């Protein structure tokens, strides 16, 4: 049995991998984190060092932990269904209570992971997020070029950094996030910090990651799986909306995306980085600079790879499915 741990919303990738598992005749079950606080019957029972884990899907379908041969923690919980936990007629719990509930449900993934410890894993909980500062340092150690980077809360430090390195961008220290506020959806992107903007900042501001802006010929998104790389070039520079961050999508005029063959040396260094980070899979972002250099930016262990698979006809969902099958039968 192959177990895919995922979430309900925004995770078509898991479904596409499941389609391939079905096509290839591999037994599998999906468990979404939201289901466990929406009434799907489950129990993880510990006696001594032995764990008995069961999830009852109904209709005779039961996930038993000891039957799992391979597992993939793709995503876990959107944490958008917590309102239903509020008892009728009770007051609004408030942000602190929702934060507590989110942490508890997040920790539940560790319980499930422990209950499935007899399986071979593609991605585990501790591998779902990596610190960008650490990753950049490891990338430099394996020979990848990385932009000069500063994390600070001081305008004076930012101004000195800009004086040394010219144009500068800011970005999140972890993954980008989308959230709702004032009835609108907001998203975090990489954005340029102009001298005018820097001048308007207070002397002390929220801790921020800043990098020298690299003039791009194009961006590269690379999907890595167990020693192999599949790359796509994105021509984001021709559109002012996507110049700083291709994720600021222009849906009316999408960026041109094409398959790309990484130079052997760069591919080898990407593989060395992933091994140094202990990651079997992930999505890497690089820049092909205007002067021809390859500059590494970051890696997301659970990045969406459909955006690489579809335009390039790589069928990466099949690659992942076949790898999971190999994990289950001990050949991967």
Q: How confident is the prediction for the chain on average, in pLDDT? A: 90
**pLDDT in the model for residue 269:** 98
What does the pLDDT average to over 251-258? 77
User: What pLDDT digit, counting tens, does each position of 202-221 carry?
Assistant: 999 999 999 999 999 999 99
Structure token digits, residue 113: 């992971």
**pLDDT in the model for residue 306:** 93
**pLDDT in the model for residue 252:** 72
What residue ranges define each of the domains in the chain, with the CATH number in brackets?
2-124+322-329 (3.40.50), 129-145+215-301 (3.30.470.20), 148-213 (3.30.1490)
**From CA 160, how far away is CA 122, in angstroms rounded?**
43
**pLDDT in the model for residue 10:** 81
End-to-end CA distance of the chain: 15
Higher model confidence: residue 229 or residue 125? 229
**pLDDT in the model for residue 128:** 87
**pLDDT in the model for residue 250:** 60
Q: Can you tell me which residue has the tokens 């919303």?
A: 9
* Angle of CA points 85, 89, 92, to nearest 5°: 60
User: What pLDDT digit, counting tens, does each position of 73-123 carry?
Assistant: 999 988 877 776 776 777 777 788 888 888 888 899 999 999 999 999 999
User: What pLDDT digit, counting tens, does each position of 43-87 carry?
Assistant: 999 999 999 999 999 999 999 999 999 999 999 988 877 776 776
**pLDDT in the model for residue 179:** 66
Question: Order of strands, edge to edge, in the sheet holding 216-225?
Answer: 256-260, 228-235, 216-225, 281-289, 294-300
Helix (H, G, I), strand (E, B) or coil at 209: strand
**pLDDT in the model for residue 243:** 56
User: What pLDDT digit, counting tens, does each position of 175-204 carry?
Assistant: 777 766 777 777 777 889 999 999 999 999
* Angle of CA points 146, 151, 153, to nearest 5°: 160
State whether the Cα torsion 141-142-147-152 is positive or negative: negative
Alpha helices (H) along 6-154: 12-23, 95-115, 132-141
* Angle of CA points 92, 98, 57, to nearest 5°: 110
Supply the pTM of this predicted model: 0.88
User: What pLDDT digit, counting tens, does each position of 274-327 carry?
Assistant: 999 999 999 999 999 999 999 999 999 998 899 999 999 999 999 999 999 999
């Amino acid at each position: 049995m192959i177990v895919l741990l995922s979430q309900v919303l925004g995770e078509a990738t898991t479904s596409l991998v499941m389609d391939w598992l079905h096509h290839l005749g591999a037994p599998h079950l999906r468990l979404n984190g939201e289901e466990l606080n929406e009434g799907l019957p489950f129990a993880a029972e510990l006696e001594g060092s032995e764990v008995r884990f069961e999830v009852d899907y109904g209709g005779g379908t039961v996930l038993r932990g000891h039957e799992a041969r391979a597992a993939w923690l793709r995503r876990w919980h959107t944490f958008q269904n917590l309102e239903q936990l509020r008892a009728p007629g009770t007051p609004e719990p408030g942000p602190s209570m929702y934060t507590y509930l989110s942490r508890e449900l997040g920790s539940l993934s560790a319980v499930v992971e422990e209950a499935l410890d007899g399986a071979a894993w593609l991605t585990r909980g501790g591998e779902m997020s990596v610190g960008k500062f650490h990753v950049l340092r490891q990338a430099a150690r394996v020979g990848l070029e990385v932009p000069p980077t500063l994390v600070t809360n001081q305008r004076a430090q930012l101004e000195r950094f800009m004086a040394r390195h010219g144009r500068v961008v800011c970005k999140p220290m972890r993954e980008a996030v989308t959230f709702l506020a004032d009835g609108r959806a907001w998203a975090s992107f990489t954005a340029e910090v102009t001298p005018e903007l820097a001048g308007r900042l207070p002397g002390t501001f929220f801790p921020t990651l800043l990098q020298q802006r690299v003039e791009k010929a194009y961006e590269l998104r690379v999907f890595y799986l167990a020693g192999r790389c599949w790359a796509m070039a994105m021509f984001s520079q021709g559109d002012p909306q996507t110049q700083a961050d291709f994720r600021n999508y222009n849906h009316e005029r999408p960026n041109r995306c094409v398959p790309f063959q990484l130079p052997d040396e760069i591919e080898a260094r990407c593989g060395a980085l992933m091994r140094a980070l202990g990651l079997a899979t992930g999505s890497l972002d690089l820049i092909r600079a205007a002067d021809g250099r390859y500059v590494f930016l970051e890696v997301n262990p659970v990045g969406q790879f459909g955006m690489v698979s579809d335009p390039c006809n790589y069928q990466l969902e099949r690659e992942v499915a076949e790898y999971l099958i190999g994990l289950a039968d001990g050949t991967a």
